[in-house]
């Protein structure tokens, strides 16, 4: 299971629901002290966590705005794989096959530098 606080994404073994076991925590490598504020409420929306296979896509609504790709294949050692800068705070994240769509607050369509990540900017 995944749980989040305002500074970490925590992986927990709940195979025995009566005795959950913490496995690991993930913090944004760019913010080692304060964490990524992965699931904290933000002005104008929530930060998004989307799971696809053994990956987590984390939309960070605090500057610098970013989409992070985290490998969860080894639950004891979550690993950051990539970070994509966003032009504004994420409003939604969706994964379809090998594509990721990120909706952010902003005036125009943008790119991430990776053809698999499309950033759709919404008018404010």
Contact, 89 vs 78, CB < 8 A?
Answer: no
Residue 107: its pLDDT value, please?
56
Structural domain range at position 97: 2-122
pLDDT at 124: 46
Q: How many structural domains compose the chain?
A: 1
pLDDT tens, position by position, 76-87: 899 989 888 888
If you average pLDDT over residues 12-20, what whole number do you get? 90
- 22 near 12, Cβ under 8 Å? yes
pLDDT digits (tens, 9 = 90+) for 31-71: 555 444 444 333 333 367 788 888 888 887 777 788 888 89
Compare 28 and 95 and report the one with higher pLDDT.
Answer: 95
Model confidence at 16, in pLDDT bands (50, 70, 90)?
very high
Mean pLDDT of the chain: 73
Whole-angstrom Cα distance, residue 10 to residue 23?
A: 8
67-72 long-range contacts, Cβ below 8 Å, gap at least 24? 67/93, 67/100, 67/102, 67/112, 67/117, 68/28, 68/36, 70/9, 70/26, 72/11
């Amino acid at each position: 299971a995944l749980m989040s606080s305002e500074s970490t994404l925590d992986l927990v073994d709940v195979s025995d629901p009566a005795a959950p076991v913490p496995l690991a925590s993930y913090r944004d490598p760019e913010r080692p002290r304060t964490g990524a504020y992965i699931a904290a409420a933000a002005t104008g929306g929530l930060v998004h966590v989307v799971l696809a296979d053994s990956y987590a896509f984390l939309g960070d609504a605090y500057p610098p705005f970013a989409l992070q790709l985290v490998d969860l294949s080894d639950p004891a050692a979550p690993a950051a794989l990539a970070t994509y800068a966003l032009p504004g705070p994420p409003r939604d994240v969706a994964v379809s096959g090998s594509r990721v769509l990120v909706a952010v607050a902003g005036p125009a369509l943008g790119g991430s530098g990776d053809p698999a990540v499309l950033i759709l900017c919404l008018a404010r």
